[in-house]
Amino acid sequence: MLKRHYLFSATLLALLGSMSAYAQSEYPPGPPPGYRHEDRWHHDDDRQVVRAVYGAHGRYADVTEIVRHFARTREPFQVSNETFGVDPYRGKRKHLRVTIVRPDGDQLERSWEEGDVARL
């Protein structure tokens, strides 16, 4: 009887160990899929750059990460195809539209025309 109990316990531990190894191989180390930490937003002067699009007439490219970089470094930048690495509407004059949310929840939008120098 003791031998059977030992065999059962050993089998159970082996099974639990293999399940743990399977669970660890399922996801890479780090946060679970879909987890978004608040630091993904750019915090500067109590505002968050939540979205930035560049284009015209319904043809827009998401340039949020590029604009967050310029806001973080406080670097002025020219609104252009070269700055964003994309021309969403060839031959048409484009603009940059940036959505910012303040801590009090107020949302504001600023925009610049192609060729302007922007500073956030």
Residues 7-17: tens digit of each pLDDT: 455 554 554 44
Angle among Cα 62, 38, 72 to the nearest 5 degrees reads 60
Domain membership of residue 6 (yes or no) is: no
- Kind and range of the H or E element at 6? helix 2-26
pLDDT tens-digit profile of 58-93?
A: 999 999 999 999 988 989 999 999 999 999 999 999
Domain membership of residue 111 (yes or no) is: yes
**Domain count of the chain?**
1
Q: Concatenated DSSP letters for 77-91?
A: EE-SHHHHT--SSTT
Average pLDDT, the chain: 76
Q: Which two tokens stand for residue 103?
A: 């801590």
Q: Which domain holds residue 53?
A: 39-118
Collect all residues with Cβ–Cβ distance below 8 Å to 52 and sequence separation of at least 6. Answer: 62, 63, 64, 66, 67, 68, 96, 97, 98, 99
pLDDT band at 110 (very low <50, low <70, confident <90, very high): very high
Q: What is the pLDDT of residue 45?
A: 59
Q: Are 110 and 100 in contact (CB under 8 A)?
A: yes
Q: What is the pLDDT of residue 18?
A: 45
Domain membership of residue 20 (yes or no) is: no
Q: What is the pLDDT of residue 21?
A: 39
Torsion sign over Cα 17, 18, 19, 25: positive
Domain membership of residue 48 (yes or no) is: yes
pLDDT at 112 over 50: yes
